[in-house]
Amino acid sequence: MDKISADVILDAKGLACPMPIVKTKKAINQLEPGKVLEVQATDKGSQADMKAWAESTGHQYLGTLEENGVLRHFLKKHSHDEADGKKYPHIASNDELKERMKANEPVVVLDVREAVEYASGHIPGAVSIPMGELDGRADELRKDQDIFVICRTGNRSDLAAKKLKDKGFHNVFNVIPGMSKWTGETEGGQQ
Look at residue 142 in the predicted model and tell me its pLDDT: 95
Q: How confident is the model at residue 190 (pLDDT cuts 50, 70, 90)?
A: low
**Separation of first and last alpha carbons in the chain:** 16
Tell which residue, 183, 4, 3, 185, has the closest CA to residue 95. Answer: 183
Each residue's pLDDT tens digit, 50-87? 887 887 788 888 888 998 999 999 998 887 554 444 47
Per-residue confidence (pLDDT) for residue 85, from 0 to 100: 47
Note the pLDDT of residue 80.
54
**Cα-Cα-Cα-Cα dihedral sign, residues 134, 139, 143, 145:** negative
The model's confidence at residue 149, banded by pLDDT at 50, 70 and 90, is: very high
Residue 12: pLDDT above 50? yes
Active site positions, annotated: 17
Q: Are 72 and 36 in contact, with CB atoms under 8 Å apart?
A: no
Tell me the three state secondary structure of residue 177.
coil
Q: Is pLDDT above 90 for 88?
A: no
C-alpha closest to that of 72 among 87, 57, 62, 85: 62
Mean pLDDT of 173-187: 94
Q: What does the mean pLDDT of the chain come to?
A: 88
Q: Are strands 91-93 and 172-176 parallel, antiparallel or unpaired?
A: parallel
More confident residue, 188 or 124: 124
Residues forming beta bridges with residue 109, ordered by sequence position: 148
Q: Between 155 and 150, whose confidence is greater?
A: 150
Write the pLDDT tens digit of every residue in 100-144. Answer: 999 999 999 999 998 888 988 999 999 999 988 998 999 999 999
